């Protein structure tokens, strides 16, 4: 199939960007979206032009590196990562708009590449369980109810791609932050740091310039790993509980 791509091109963090139009032809429906961009880039290089920069790595939907807003939707029309989106979901002659994640906390580095290190700082402020290597008790010392283990797993699946922030009209990182808070706070191992974790992570999240939650639910709609919207409510509950306890 033949497609028209309108891609955000921006040569550097401080440069002014613009949508630029490209035509690609002979796109196979079996290609992934990124393979379609690879095809474009190969052509651009041979024409002596600078190829489109985009983040990608594992290309199997787990590393969380890839992500772009396709026709106004984070990761495009299917609820999956961009690397797992296939061209069979588009038709011959389509015009596809491709933009980077937009959020103050995710400044554009180049073209479709953004800086998501703010996520790392949110994790660093409390998204862990303090345990020095070698000091752990036997793994069976603390049984974990299966329900708690399953809740923890469901939230631990977050891949940190940032689609939730990109889709949120407020550029909020509530879903990302709550996924980690709920993962660790559901487990007995996470209990000693339960209050400080949520307070510190929310504080860092705010300080990084993410917006607040207005319950639009856009984040959970685009999340490729299906982190539930209710995890935000759970984090709010954890937060208010921590405030009450005066941690």
Q: How far apart are CA 193 and CA 200, in angstroms?
A: 10
Q: Is 91 in the site for other proteins (CB under 8 A)?
A: no
**Which residue lies nearer to other proteins by CB, 91 or 215?**
215
Q: Is 1 in the site for other proteins (CB under 8 A)?
A: no
Tell me the site size for other proteins, rule CB under 8 A.
136
Give the Cα-Cα-Cα angle 140, 142, 144 (nearest 5 degrees).
100
Selected from 3, 5, 171, 175, the binder of other proteins by CB under 8 A is 171
Q: Is 62 in the site for other proteins (CB under 8 A)?
A: yes
Minimum distance, C-beta of residue 73 to other proteins, in the bound complex (Å): 7
Q: Is 24 in the site for other proteins (CB under 8 A)?
A: no
Selected from 159, 164, 181, 182, the binder of other proteins by CB under 8 A is 159
Minimum distance, C-beta of residue 151 to other proteins, in the bound complex (Å): 9
The CB density around residue 125, as the number of other CB atoms within 10 Å, is: 20
Minimum distance, C-beta of residue 63 to other proteins, in the bound complex (Å): 4
Site string for other proteins, 119-158 (x = CB under 8 A): xxx-xxx-xxxxxxxxxxxxxx-xxxxx--x--xx--xx-
Residue 198 neighbours by CB under 8 Å, 6+ apart: 126, 181, 185, 235, 238, 239, 242
Q: Is 181 in the site for other proteins (CB under 8 A)?
A: no
Sign of the alpha-carbon torsion through 56, 152, 117, 169 = positive
Report CA-CA distances (Å) from 46 to 36, 51, 139: 16, 10, 56
Give the residue from 38, 65, 72 showing the smallest Cα distance to 52.
38
Minimum distance, C-beta of residue 196 to other proteins, in the bound complex (Å): 12
- Beta bridge partner(s), residue 17: none
Q: Is 93 in the site for other proteins (CB under 8 A)?
A: no
Selected from 49, 91, 92, 192, the binder of other proteins by CB under 8 A is 49
Residues 187-246 contacting other proteins, CB under 8 A: 187, 189-190, 199, 202-203, 205-218, 228-230, 232-240, 243-244, 246
Q: How far apart are CA 82 and CA 70, in angstroms?
A: 9
What are 53's two structure tokens?
Answer: 């920069």
**Which residue lies nearer to other proteins by CB, 3 or 118?**
118
CB of 17 closer than 8 Å to CB of 7: no
What are 222's two structure tokens?
Answer: 């685009």
CB of 105 closer than 8 Å to CB of 172: no
Selected from 3, 5, 31, 175, the binder of other proteins by CB under 8 A is 31
DSSP H/E element including 71: none
**Which residue lies nearer to other proteins by CB, 163 or 172?**
172
């Amino acid at each position: 199939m033949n497609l028209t791509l309108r891609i955000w091109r921006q040569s550097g963090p401080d440069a002014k960007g613009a949508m630029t139009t490209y035509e690609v032809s002979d796109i196979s429906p079996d290609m992934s979206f990124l393979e379609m961009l690879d095809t474009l880039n190969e052509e651009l290089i041979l024409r002596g032009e600078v190829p489109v920069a985009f983040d990608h790595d594992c290309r199997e939907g787990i590393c969380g590196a890839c992500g772009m807003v396709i026709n106004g939707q984070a990761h495009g029309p299917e609820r999956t990562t961009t690397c797992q989106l296939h061209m069979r979901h588009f038709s011959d002659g389509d015009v596809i708009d491709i933009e980077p994640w937009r959020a103050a906390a995710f400044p554009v580095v180049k073209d479709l590449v953004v800086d998501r290190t703010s996520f790392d700082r949110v994790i660093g402020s409390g998204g862990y369980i303090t345990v020095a290597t070698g000091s752990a008790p036997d793994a069976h010392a603390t049984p974990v109810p299966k329900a708690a283990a399953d809740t923890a797993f469901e939230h631990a699946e977050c891949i940190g791609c940032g689609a939730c922030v990109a889709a949120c009209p407020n550029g909020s990182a509530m879903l990302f932050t709550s996924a980690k808070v709920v993962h660790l706070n559901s487990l007995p191992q996470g209990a000693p740091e339960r209050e400080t974790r949520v307070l510190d992570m929310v504080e860092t999240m705010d300080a990084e310039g993410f917006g607040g939650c207005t319950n639009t639910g856009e984040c959970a709609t685009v999340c490729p790993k299906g982190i539930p919207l209710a995890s935000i409510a759970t984090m709010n509950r954890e937060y208010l509980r921590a405030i009450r306890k005066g941690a």
